[in-house]
Each structure stands twice: as structure tokens, then as C-alpha cells.
Amino acid sequence: MSSLSTVESIKLQGRDLDLIRGLFESRVMTAVHVAILYFNGSKEAAKKRLHKLKTAGFIGDRRPKVYEPALLF
């Protein structure tokens, strides 16, 4: 699946835009931060939505070290 068709397949919600704006302002967050701020503490819901946003290319992540949580940008 090409990245263009992936972007077209995701429908951004208001919460997604708030999350992206918050991530832009803070520069870096973890999935736990996102869950607390945008998903009422639901780590599973945050994980699923973050996966879709990362696959579509709206959010990136990297791990400073293997045992540390991924940093979202």
C-alpha cells in the first residue's frame, strides 16, 4: 500500500488535530502522555489511534534506547 493511499484512507478527527497540534507545541511526547491528555487515560485506545496516525505519516517515532519508551514527534 502506498503512503498516498494510506493518507487517503484515514479520516482525521477533531481529537487527532488536537493531538497533532499539542505534539507540535510540545515537540515530543510518549504514548502515555498522549493517552492521559487525549484519550482519558486509555492506553489501548491511544495505541490503536497512534498506530493509524504513524502509518499514515502524520506522526513519527523513535527510541533513544531499546529499553526506553518511543518518543513521538
pLDDT score, position 9: 77
Range of the domain at 27: 3-72
CATH number at residue 50: 1.10.10
Contacts for 13-18: CB closer than 8 Å, 24+ residues apart: 15/39, 15/49, 16/49, 16/53, 16/58
pLDDT in tens, 4-44: 555 557 899 999 999 999 999 999 999 999 999 999 999 99
Count up the domains in the chain and report the number.
Answer: 1
